Chain A
Amino acid sequence: MSSEMYERIRNNPKFIKLVQERGKFQWTLSAIVLIMFYGYFMLIAFAPQLLGQKIATGSMWPIGYTIELFLFVFFWFTTLYYVQRSNKVYDDMAQDVVKEAQKEVI
């Protein structure tokens, strides 16, 4: 792939828009997962007694287990959301950019 074509893509406003939007999307989701994950680990490290308690009197569900079960489900849904949005929105934008660059060559 020629450097010129890469150069043209870099200067395409659509490419810049794609990179900015997708980057923001990726880092936002990553931040959510990282904060929840390490927040949970901070609780394990600094408040283990809290996690061992039951969610309510009379219930057998420990707080820690309940939080973590939620995290398993929630993290998977974030990946589902990411894949759907990437496949629907960002792939089309990327295709568009590549097509334009190739058209200009011809």
Chain B
Amino acid sequence: MRQVLLSVFVQLALMAQMAQAAGPAAGVTEKQATNWHAIVMFVIFVGITLGITYWAANRTKTTSDFYTAGGGITGFQNGLAIAGDYMSAATLLGLSAMAYAQGYDAYIYMLAFFAGWPIILFLMAERLRNLGRFTFADITSYRLSQSSVRTMAAISSLVVVVFYLIAQMVGAGQLIKLLFGLDYNIAIFIVGLLMMVYVAFGGMVATTWVQIIKACMLLFGGTVVAVLAFSQFGFSLSELFTRVESVHKLGSKLMWPGNLLADPVTAISLGLGLMFGTAGLPHILMRFFTVGNAKEARKSVLYANGFVGYFFNVIFIMGLCAVVIVGQNPAFFEGGTIGGKLIGGGNMVAMHLAKSVGGNLLLGFLAAVAFATILAVVAGLALAGAAAVSHDIYARVIRKGTATEKEEVNVSRITTVALGLLAIILGIAFEKMNIAFMVGLAFGVAAAANFPVLILSMYWKGLTTRGALWGGYGGVISSVIFVFFSKSVWVDVIGMKQALFTYTQPAIFCMPIAFGLAYIMSVTDNSARAQAEKEAFEDQYVRAQTGLGSAAPSSRH
């Protein structure tokens, strides 16, 4: 394995040198020269991260190393990694594009993505760390039936992971196609393969460092673009608003709540879905187990929240600046028609802005950042999906705790490869979808499937296995059905004329279904097992409150 990684590393380093040499020598036009900046910077990123993966592979032996980096990540590191995990390519490209096209609506989305963090901190962070070990199913099944509740949690985790992966893969393919001149399918394969290498060899240690490096690059790159762009407006928001409203086709309506949230049901549902969806994303929840104790878990959220909030505001400024800087420059439109189709499609606003304010070097850097961003997020997702299969289903349900650590880690690695292949296939199948919208769907499922059972298991003594199963499956099935019959699948994919479910955001319907089923099926459960489960809450409660008996860190990185 060392040999393989080493040779990949050497090859990439060679490629980087060749790329530098070949760029000017080939005498290519300006646009293609851009590609070399992006490719060189991306290859450097891949080289560094593969080096880290090689280093991490030697430190990844036990299940604790593999899933949680031995619990040795500090609060600050984890905060950066959470921000790196959370700010996806859809965040950078999709939300800047949405700000460019819809203005204020994008800002509303951003607050909904952001406001989940304080709630996670106040109500969940400490209990997650005190009760969990590797996956959030450790918590939901803490005093409930190991096999059935874990299976349910693993299934809903996988549903979220797959939805989110599709969005990431599609974003990756489009981006690389445009900026690196590679075929969409080849781009998807590169992302899928690198993801497999990071996770299968380096586990959580490598994944965490990929996310930390990527978060730093993203914060730096985004800030540089935003500062350069904003300087053209004298760093005055008033000036920016004035000029944006004077040229945008929505005019002053740009800063009004617009079409995306046209009706109250959609607006509230979006708020619910994004806020509680954040609190139900398996790859985010998993990050809470990588720190040593509850204190570090709290600090993680404080830092993550700061980085995420800061960056959303940066992206919004970028999107608005692009209205004037990109939207008024014929060079960025197909056929040179202002107001026509943007070159490379609607999601390329941030990239065009980078080129406009910082030339090819900045464009190359931001492209490399966006690519790195996709890799970091898919790695986190793959690890969470792999843990759901290997830790929850294989080790706890199938082997009932008799599997050795080695066996469990091996299953995890195999699952990672399987998920990588699945992501490649689905990435190709869903090429034409809007990526910001797909992320919204993933959040809806997380909010209705994972969050209700998790929060009830931590706070409500009365939750029984039967209630958890009905609530969890009710949440998964209802959200999948609502998404299936909504326009995005029923009309756009299957080709039916009219959507049976007319709302784009399912959370407002699915969350009450999940909570309601969990409640009714728990209070009507009078079995002896239900009684024992309710009594077991008392001990769980003390552990949740004090951390006494919680998983201790085994190593530092």
Contact = CB atoms under 8 A, between A and B. Distances in A.
A43 B548 CA distance: 44
Nearest to B75: A83
Contact of A64 (B238, B257, B294, B298): B257
A9 B546 contact: yes
Contact of B111 (A30, A37, A49, A59): A37
A40 B111 CA distance: 10
A26 B295 contact: no
Contacts of A3: 539
A75 B115 contact: yes
Contacts of A106: none
A15 B546 CA distance: 9
A1 B543 contact: yes
A86 B298 contact: yes
B267 interface: yes
Contacts of B298: 82-83, 86-87
B263 interface: yes
B305 interface: yes
A76 B305 contact: yes
Contacts of A101: 548
Given A79-B302, A91-B295, A44 B108 contact: yes
B265 to A, nearest CB: 8
B241 A6 contact: no
B119 A68 contact: no
Interface string A46-89: 10110110000001111011001101110110111011001100
Contact of B538 (A10, A44, A60): A10
B123 A71 contact: no
B301 A15 contact: no
B18 interface: no
Contacts of B119: 30, 33-34
A44 B111 CA distance: 12
B346 interface: no
Contact of B264 (A33, A34, A46): A46
Contacts of B542: 6, 9-10, 15
Contacts of A40: 111
B255 interface: yes
A52 B545 contact: no
Contact of A38 (B117, B239, B268): B268
A99 to B, nearest CB: 10
B122 interface: yes
B554 interface: no
Q: Report which residue of A10, A45, A75, A87 has the largest number of chain B beta carbons within 10 angstroms of its beta carbon.
A: A45
A78 B301 CA distance: 12
Contact of B122 (A26, A44, A52, A80): A26
B283 interface: no
Give 5 nearest A-B pairs by CB, closest first: A52-B256, A45-B264, A1-B549, A48-B257, A60-B241
Given A52-B104, A86-B295, 4 more contacts: A29-B118, A75-B115, A76-B306, A76-B309
